[in-house]
Amino acid sequence: AQSVAQPEDQVNVAEGNPLTVKCTYSVSGNPYLFWYVQYPNRGLQFLLKYITGDNLVKGSYGFEAEFNKSQTSFHLKKPSALVSDSALYFCAVRARTGGGNKLTFGTGTQLKVEL
């Protein structure tokens, strides 16, 4: 069975500081990994994905994520946080082969960026 862990329910960071939202995963074989963001009363919006190749993936709104196979992690990062980045962030994983079509989501991390 595949799973995703987001160990922090909430992350607080000051505007202008770097931010990291953590994600670790468990899957048979190689993964496809995704980050989504959810603003209040809205659906999830796709931020970025890792398929293969370069371990550092760049996405929307200045976000990036680093794939680390040995640590089975896919942490979301941004060099300089904005108040408008405050939202709920979800990590998701799918096995590249043999895992069928199921996308498994983490429980989400609430990011709060303060002035």
Task: List the one residue from 7, 102, 112, 114 that touches another protein (CB under 8 A).
Answer: 102
CA distance 26 to 102: 13
Binding of residue 101 to another protein (CB under 8 A): yes
Q: Which stretch binds another protein (CB under 8 A): 17-25, 44-52, 70-78, 79-87?
A: 44-52
Across 16-103, where does the E strand assignment appear? 19-21, 24-26, 31-38, 44-50, 56-58, 64-68, 73-78, 87-95
Buried b (16+ CB within 10 A) or exposed e, 50-71: beeeeeebebeeebbbbbeeee
Binding of residue 40 to another protein (CB under 8 A): no
Task: List the one residue from 12, 17, 80, 107 that touches another protein (CB under 8 A).
Answer: 107
**Which residue, among 45, 34, 25, has the nearest Cα to 87 in the 3D structure?**
45
Q: To which residue do tokens 């909430």 refer?
A: 10
Give least dist CB 43 to another protein, A: 3
Per CB under 8 A, which of residues 49..78 are in contact with another protein? 49, 51
Would you say 15 or 103 has its CB closer to another protein? 103
Q: Which residues bind another protein (CB under 8 A)?
A: 4, 32, 34, 36, 41-46, 49, 51, 90, 94, 96-97, 100-103, 105-108
